[in-house]
C-alpha cells in the first residue's frame, strides 16, 4: 500500500461569479469564513485519525478563491494540518490566488510558513477579454502580483490561460502567452472554454461571440507550438512546465495516487475508494460524505495515462492491472497512428498534439 497522500482543500468563497464558472463558490462574510475554517480543522482531525500512517507530500489550496482567506487563516490551516498529518520535508504546498484579491496577502510570511508554489488565475493578458470573462482584475494587476510573489522568494509560479474566450484571436492569445513567458512563469495551465448551462455564458449565449470548434483547435495547437518553442514541456493535455517543475499535486490525480479532498464539492481517492463532499457548506459542516464507488481501475488508468506526455505503457498496464490488450485494440491504435493522432513505439502509446485535441473521442474508443 502507498502511504503517501495529497491533501486538497477547497475554499468555497469568491467575491463574485465569473461568466464561465460552474465551480461551487459563494459570497460570504468574515463570520462565515471563520465558521468554515473551524469545520475544516475538525475535518482534518477526523481524517488524520482514519488515515494514520499516511504522510502528506502535496497540499493544494483551491477554490473558489483561497486568497480571500488571508494570511492568518491560511497559516492556521497549514499549521493544524502539519500537526495532524506527517508532512514530507519536500512537500509541495500550492496556493491558488486571484490577482484581484492577492493584495491582502503577505507572500513572504506565507513562504516562511511553507507555501512554495502559487497558481495565479490570470486567464488572459488582454483587458477586454478579462472583462468579457467577468474577471475583476487587469493585466497590470497580474504584473504587480507576480512581482510581489517573486520578491517573497517564491519562484514556482503557475499561470492559468483560457483558450476560446469570446472575441479572442490567435494574435491576442499569442500576446497573452508572450506576457506569461516574459514573467518567467515556471508552469502554465491552459483551458479550452466550455459553456456550462448554469453560467452567464450558458444562460446568455446569444450575447457573446464564441470561438468555433475550428478556431478552438487552432488556438490549442498555436498554444502548444508557442510554449514548446519557448522552453516549456507539454507534459499533460492542458499543462506545460519549465525545468521539470510539473504540478506534483495534479500528477497524483493522473497517476491514480491517493488524495484527500476537504471542503464542499471536494473529491477524494483513498485506498482504492472514491468519495466526495456535496456542493454545500452545511453538508461539509455536518461531515456528509458521499461514496462514489471503486477507484484506481484499469479503465481509469488507461484514460489518465493517455492524458500525459509519456502515454500508456503496455507492459506496465499488464503488470499493474493484468490487462490483456486484444487484436481489436491494436487495430484501432494502428488506425489512429496512420491518421496522426497516436504515436506507438511498440512499448508505449502516446497521443500526438493533434490527438490531444480529440482525446475524449480517441480514449473512449480505445477503452
Q: What is the average per-residue pLDDT within 5-28?
A: 86
In a domain, 293, yes or no: no
Q: Compute CA 42 distance to the chain's CA centroid, rounded to the nearest angstrom.
A: 25
Residues 175-201 have pLDDT tens digits of 999 999 999 999 999 999 988 888 888
Q: What is the average per-residue pLDDT within 105-127?
A: 97
CA–CA distance, 76 with 30 (Å, rounded to integer): 15
Q: What mean pLDDT is reported for the chain?
A: 93
Residues 272-321 have pLDDT tens digits of 999 999 999 999 999 999 999 998 899 999 999 999 999 999 999 999 99
In a domain, 326, yes or no: yes
Query: In the beta sheet, which residues pair with residue 26?
Result: 13
Predicted confidence at residue 89, as pLDDT, reads 94
What is the SS3 assignment for 305?
helix
What are the start-end ranges of the H helices in 7-121?
A: 30-50, 70-84, 107-112
In a domain, 30, yes or no: yes
Handedness of CA 339, 345, 347, 351 (dihedral sign): negative
In a domain, 42, yes or no: yes
51 and 105 housed in the same domain: yes
Residues 354-364 have pLDDT tens digits of 999 999 899 99
86 and 199 housed in the same domain: yes
Predicted confidence at residue 87, as pLDDT, reads 96
CATH number at residue 326: 1.10.10.920
In a domain, 284, yes or no: no
184 and 328 housed in the same domain: no
Q: Which run of H or of E encompasses 251?
A: helix 248-254
Domain boundary among 254, 284, 311: 254
Residues 28-68 have pLDDT tens digits of 789 999 999 999 999 999 999 999 889 999 999 998 899 99
321 and 173 housed in the same domain: no
CATH number at residue 96: 3.20.20.70
26 and 84 housed in the same domain: yes
Bin 242: left if φ > 0, else alpha if -120 < ψ < 50, else beta. beta
72 and 213 housed in the same domain: yes
Total tally of structural domains belonging to the chain:
2
pLDDT greater than 60 at residue 1: no
In a domain, 130, yes or no: yes
pLDDT confidence of 101, banded at 50, 70, 90? Answer: confident
* Per-residue b or e along 280-295, where b marks 16 or more CB atoms closer than 10 Å to that residue's CB: ebeebbeeeeeeeeeb
pLDDT confidence of 27, banded at 50, 70, 90? Answer: confident
Domain boundary among 254, 285, 306: 254
67 and 146 housed in the same domain: yes
CA–CA distance, 154 with 171 (Å, rounded to integer): 31
112 and 218 housed in the same domain: yes
In a domain, 184, yes or no: yes
CA–CA distance, 236 with 233 (Å, rounded to integer): 9
Domain assignment of residue 64, given as a range: 4-254
CB 232 within 8 A of CB 188: yes
311 and 366 housed in the same domain: yes
247 and 302 housed in the same domain: no
pLDDT greater than 80 at residue 141: yes
- Considering only the C-alpha atoms of the chain, give the largest distance between any 2 of them, rounded to a whole number of Å: 61
103 and 214 housed in the same domain: yes
Could you identify the residue written with the cell 484579491? 101
Predicted confidence at residue 266, as pLDDT, reads 96
In a domain, 288, yes or no: no
Residues 203-258 have pLDDT tens digits of 888 888 899 999 999 999 999 999 999 999 999 999 999 999 999 999 999 999 99
Amino acid at each position: 500500500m502507498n502511504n503517501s497522500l495529497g491533501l486538497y482543500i477547497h475554499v468555497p468563497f469568491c467575491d463574485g461569479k465569473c461568466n464561465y464558472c460552474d465551480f461551487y463558490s459563494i459570497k460570504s462574510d468574515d463570520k462565515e469564513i471563520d465558521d468554515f475554517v473551524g469545520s475544516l480543522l475538525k475535518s482534518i482531525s477526523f481524517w488524520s485519525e482514519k488515515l494514520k500512517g499516511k504522510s502528506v507530500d502535496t497540499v493544494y489550496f483551491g477554490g473558489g478563491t483561497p486568497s480571500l482567506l488571508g494570511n492568518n487563516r491560511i497559516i492556521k490551516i497549514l499549521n493544524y494540518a502539519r500537526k495532524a498529518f506527517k508532512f514530507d520535508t519536500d512537500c509541495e504546498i500550492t496556493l491558488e490566488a486571484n490577482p484581484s484579491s492577492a493584495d491582502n496577502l503577505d507572500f513572504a510570511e506565507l513562504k516562511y510558513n511553507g507555501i512554495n508554489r502559487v497558481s495565479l488565475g490570470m486567464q488572459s493578458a488582454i483587458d477586454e477579454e478579462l472583462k468579457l470573462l467577468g474577471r475583476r482584475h487587469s493585466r497590470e494587476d497580474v504584473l504587480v502580483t507576480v512581482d510581489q510573489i517573486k520578491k517573497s522568494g517564491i519562484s514556482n509560479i503557475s499561470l492559468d490561460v483560457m483558450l476560446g474566450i469570446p472575441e479572442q484571436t490567435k494574435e491576442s492569445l499569442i500576446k497573452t502567452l508572450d506576457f506569461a513567458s516574459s514573467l518567467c512563469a515556471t508552469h502554465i495551465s491552459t483551458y479550452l472554454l466550455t459553456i456550462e448551462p448554469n453560467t452567464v455564458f450558458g444562460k446568455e449565449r446569444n450575447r457573446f461571440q464564441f470561438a468555433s470548434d475550428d478556431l478552438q483547435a487552432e488556438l490549442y495547437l498555436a498554444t502548444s507550438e508557442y510554449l514548446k518553442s519557448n522552453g516549456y514541456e507539454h507534459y499533460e493535455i492542458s499543462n506545460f512546465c519549465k525545468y521539470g517543475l510539473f504540478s506534483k499535486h495534479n500528477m497524483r490525480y493522473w497517476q491514480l495516487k491517493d488524495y484527500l479532498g476537504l471542503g464542499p464539492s471536494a473529491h477524494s481517492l483513498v485506498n482504492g475508494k472514491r468519495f466526495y463532499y456535496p456542493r454545500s457548506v452545511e453538508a461539509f459542516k455536518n461531515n456528509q460524505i458521499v461514496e462514489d464507488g471503486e477507484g484506481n481501475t484499469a479503465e481509469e488508468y488507461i484514460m489518465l495515462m493517455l492524458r500525459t506526455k509519456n502515454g500508456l505503457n503496455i507492459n506496465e498496464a499488464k503488470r499493474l492491472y493484468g490487462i490483456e490488450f486484444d487484436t481489436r485494440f491494436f487495430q484501432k491504435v494502428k488506425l489512429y497512428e496512420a491518421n496522426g493522432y497516436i504515436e506507438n513505439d511498440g512499448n508505449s502509446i502516446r497521443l500526438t498534439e493533434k490527438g490531444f485535441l480529440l482525446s475524449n473521442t480517441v480514449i473512449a474508443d480505445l477503452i
